[in-house]
Amino acid sequence: MKTIIIQIGNSDNKLTQKEWSEFVDEINNIINLFSDGIHFFGGSNTWSPWQNVAWVFVLKETIWFNVPIETTLKNTIHNISVKYKQDSVAWTEGITDFI
């Protein structure tokens, strides 16, 4: 099973609170579509001078439109980040082993 961690932030304050909320919501919706379950979702303290959020989830094992699901998800997240004037989204992936 492949586990993915997605991290987004707004420490540069490019986004208003409303825009940040919409950005998080869009990323969350797409992760829900592509995942077999979210193991963790959380963010920085609400009183912190920065905003960030992370998801840890299991990626579905499938092909979307003849393209590996990782590629489709990465492209979709990239497009969402561009829409919200974000320079980058952190993507970490690995194979989960139960020991």
Which residues, 6+ apart, have CB-to-CB distance to 32 below 8 Å?
38
The reported pLDDT for the residue numbered 98 is 84
Position 49 scores a pLDDT of 86
pLDDT reported for residue 64: 62
pLDDT of residue 63: 65
Burial class (CB in 10 A: 0-12, 13-18, 19+), 74: middle
Q: Residue 92 has what pLDDT?
A: 96
- The enclosing H or E element of 69 equals helix 69-83
pLDDT by residue, tens only, the chain of 99 residues: 789 999 999 988 899 999 999 999 999 999 999 999 999 999 999 888 889 999 999 998 876 667 888 899 999 999 999 999 998 899 999 988 888
Domain segments of the chain as ranges: 2-95
pLDDT recorded at residue 65: 67
Indicate the CATH number for domain 2-95.
Answer: 3.30.70.260
